[in-house]
Structure formats: C-alpha cells, structure tokens
C-alpha cells in the first residue's frame, strides 16, 4: 500500500503541464523564426556544432527530473505487508441503543450523542484491548467486529445515528445474544460487554440472558443514559430540523424516562457494575477502571506494517537525471569542413 504525507503537492503537476505547453509554443515560434535565416544548407552550417538529438534528450531528463522532484515532495509512504501484532488486553464489546428514545434531550445534546462521546473517550484510553460495537433498537446488528484499530473504531462510532435500524423498539435481550456471538469462541474469559441504553426493554428477557452470558465468562457492565424525570422524544425532518415530538396512538406526547433499575439488574446478573449519565454527573471512568484491573490475555491481530517514508528513492532518481543532464554533451564530435564561400 502507498500513502502520501502531503497529497496537495500533486497540484504542482498542473503548473508543470502549463509550463510544458508554454515551452512547446515558444519552441514552435523559434523554429518558425530560424526558417527565415536562410536555406537549409545555411542553417545546417550555422548549427553544425550542435547535436539536436542530445539536446532533446537533455530536455527530457530535465522534465522527468522535475516530475520526480514533485513526486518526492508529496512524501510517498509505503506499507509493505501484513504483519502479526501481539498485544495484551481484553475483548470489549459495546452494545449501543440507537432507538428513537435515545434522541431525547434530557442529557445534552442528546442521549445518543452523549453515549457516542463517552465511547470515544473509552477508545482513547484503550491500550492493547480490542473493541467492537453492536447497535440495537427493535433488532440488533454487529456494526463493528472486534478490532485493535482505534482510529477506525472512532470513525464507526461517529457514524452512528438513530436511523440505522428502522425497526423501532428496544430488543435488549437480542443485543446481548448478538454480542455473545461476536466474541471468540475459544476463549471463555477476558470478555467484557458494556451495554449503553436508557433502559427500556420491550421484550423483558434481558436479565435472564445476562445471567447466561455471565455463566459463559462475559462480564456485563451497564451504562444508563437519561434522567428519572425523562424527556420528550423529538422528531426530525431530512434536514435535521425538529418538526414535532413523538406521540402515542391516542395523540398524547410520549415521555421517555431512564429505567435505571433494569440496567442495574442486568449489570448485577452479568457480574459487572452500573453507572449513569444524567447530564450532571457520570462518565466511563468507573467502568474503565474495572476493565483495566482485569486479567489480560495476549491478543494477536494482523495489521499493515507501519508506513515508512520513501521520498528519498524518487529524490535520488531526480538527482541522477539532473546530473546526467549536466554532463551530457550537446556538441558534435565531428564537424563539417568549410570549403569556401559557397557551400
């Protein structure tokens, strides 16, 4: 693979192309002017010491040298191959609720945005652990498989929104089952599941499923996002403007409140802890401290070897072309003898 440290330098090729066109037009004008200096024999005598073939070669060397200099200035970097990287850590899966109730604004700017921000903080603190992401609403999906690429994980988290799953509801037990299937089967330890939600469970099976996961070596922590007072659920149009608030079938406004008791039950059944973000306090620090205190395992992942600067190769080629241009002769070895006034 190849990457460039300063890709904007490629714009210089446009300038180089314009200069080439300008030189070509000037060259055509010079040829037209020299045709007025006499007939072909006279011109041949005037330039008898100049080797025009070598002049063209010198010009080509100069253009190619400049082109290679521009390419070197872009800072080409090459990653040679995949290599196995060993780290010590645990496997962490985050199950994130993306149902419409997570758009409630009792936690600013919204429950979902607060959850995404805290996941980003979690990723920034990881050292050697692998992280993955399950999103759920009325159904659940493995959105990001376990990875040690924290930059890619952050990009995936930033892209999460409440429109990802059209089936509305909160299938929390289904999310727990999806998370279990995403963990490696060969290891019954070093597995952590962090479920982030406002606690609504439309199926009522989440606590039982959490006990099953705990029996299979998965530690479950819960993070409640919201307040006990709750908030209305805004509805947005395609431009992201709030147009209304969610209503039930009878036309009454729906207020979504945090079901903290349910999340605490899940954490207790899963052998973990429960924290809450209520807009005034709460962060992932308590959960992260527990994760960091866990026994670590050796995780093997394959990554591209680190990109290395390779500009010096193209710089050396450009230097070689300029040196060749400098030492390249343009004078003919043999000269025609002048035999009088008339050729």
Question: Do 255 and 168 sit in the same domain of this protein?
Answer: yes
Note whether 317 and 311 are within 8 A (CB): no
pLDDT in tens, 288-302: 888 888 877 766 665
Per-residue pLDDT, averaged over 68-74, amounts to 90
Percent of the chain, pLDDT > 90? 25
Structural domain contains residue 19:
yes
Quick check: 52 pLDDT over 70?
no
pLDDT in tens, 254-286: 888 888 899 999 999 999 999 988 867 667 888
Please tell me the pTM assigned to this model: 0.63
Contacts 24+ apart (CB under 8 A), 232-235: 232/104, 232/256, 233/100, 233/101, 233/103, 233/104, 234/103, 234/104, 234/105
Structural domain contains residue 340:
no
What is the C-alpha separation between 179 and 329, in angstroms, rounded?
Answer: 73
Question: Do 189 and 314 sit in the same domain of this protein?
Answer: no
Question: Do 159 and 52 sit in the same domain of this protein?
Answer: no
Structural domain contains residue 47:
yes
Question: Do 130 and 152 sit in the same domain of this protein?
Answer: yes
Structural domain contains residue 275:
yes
User: In terms of Cα–Cα distance, which of 320, 121, 94 is closest to 195?
Assistant: 94
Structural domain contains residue 185:
yes
pLDDT in tens, 298-315: 666 655 556 677 888 888
Question: Do 223 and 298 sit in the same domain of this protein?
Answer: yes
For 184, the domain range is: 84-302
Question: Do 224 and 257 sit in the same domain of this protein?
Answer: yes
- Computed from CA positions of residues 189, 182, 114, 234, in that sequence, does the dihedral angle turn out positive or negative? negative
Q: Residue 337 — very low, low, confident or very high, per pLDDT cuts 50/70/90?
A: low
Question: Do 74 and 145 sit in the same domain of this protein?
Answer: no
Question: Do 286 and 219 sit in the same domain of this protein?
Answer: yes
Question: Do 116 and 69 sit in the same domain of this protein?
Answer: no
Q: What's 33's DSSP letter?
A: H
Q: Which residue has the higher pLDDT, 286 or 223?
A: 223
Question: Do 219 and 269 sit in the same domain of this protein?
Answer: yes
Question: Do 62 and 137 sit in the same domain of this protein?
Answer: no
Structural domain contains residue 342:
no
What is the C-alpha separation between 147 and 226, in angstroms, rounded?
Answer: 29
Q: Determine the pLDDT at residue 36.
A: 62
Note whether 232 and 110 are within 8 A (CB): no
Of 50-59, 154-163, 207-216, 251-260, the range with the lowest mean pLDDT is 50-59
Question: Do 34 and 169 sit in the same domain of this protein?
Answer: no
Q: Determine the pLDDT at residue 309.
A: 77
How many structural domains are present in the chain? 2
pLDDT in tens, 171-202: 888 999 999 989 887 777 788 999 999 887 66
Per-residue pLDDT, averaged over 83-100, amounts to 83
As a whole number of Å, the end-to-end CA separation of the chain is 63
What is the C-alpha separation between 231 and 242, in angstroms, rounded?
Answer: 15
Per-residue pLDDT, averaged over 129-135, amounts to 93
**Which of 287, 302, 317 is the C-terminal boundary of a domain?**
302
Structural domain contains residue 337:
no
Structural domain contains residue 29:
yes
pLDDT in tens, 158-169: 999 988 887 777
Q: With b meaning 16 or more CB within 10 Å and e meaning fewer, what string describes 301-329? A: eeeeeebeeebeebeebbeebbeebeeee
């Amino acid at each position: 693979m190849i990457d460039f440290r300063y890709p904007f330098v490629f714009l210089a090729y446009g300038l180089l192309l314009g200069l080439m066109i300008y030189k070509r037009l000037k060259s055509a004008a010079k040829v037209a002017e020299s045709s007025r200096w006499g007939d072909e024999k006279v011109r041949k005598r005037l330039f008898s010491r100049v080797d025009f073939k070598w002049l063209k070669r010198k010009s080509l060397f100069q253009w190619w040298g400049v082109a290679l200099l521009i390419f070197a200035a872009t800072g080409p970097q090459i990653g040679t191959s995949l290599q196995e990287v060993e780290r010590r850590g645990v496997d962490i899966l985050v199950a994130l609720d993306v149902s419409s109730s997570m758009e409630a604004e009792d936690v600013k700017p919204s429950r979902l945005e607060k959850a995404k921000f805290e996941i980003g903080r979690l990723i920034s603190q990881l050292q050697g652990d692998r992280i993955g992401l399950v999103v759920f609403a009325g159904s659940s999906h493995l959105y990001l498989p376990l990875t040690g690429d924290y930059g890619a994980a952050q990009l995936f988290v930033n892209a999460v929104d409440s429109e990802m799953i059209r089936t509305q509801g909160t299938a929390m037990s289904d999310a727990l089952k999806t998370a279990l299937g995403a963990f490696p089967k060969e290891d019954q330890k070093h597995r952590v599941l962090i479920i982030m939600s406002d606690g609504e469970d439309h199926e009522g099976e989440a606590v039982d499923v959490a006990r099953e996961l705990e029996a299979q070596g998965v530690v479950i922590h819960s993070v409640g996002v919201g307040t006990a007072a709750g908030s209305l659920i805004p509805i947005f149009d395609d431009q992201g403007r709030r147009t209304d608030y969610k209503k039930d079938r009878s036309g009454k406004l729906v207020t979504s409140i945090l079901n903290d008791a349910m999340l605490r039950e899940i954490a207790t059944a899963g052998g973990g802890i429960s924290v809450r973000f209520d807009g005034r306090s709460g962060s992932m620090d308590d959960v992260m401290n527990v994760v960091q205190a866990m026994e670590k395992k050796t995780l093997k992942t394959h990554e591209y070897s680190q990109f290395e600067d390779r500009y010096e190769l193209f710089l050396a080629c450009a230097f070689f072309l300029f040196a060749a241009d400098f030492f390249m002769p343009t004078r003919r070895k043999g000269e025609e003898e002048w035999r009088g006034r008339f050729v």
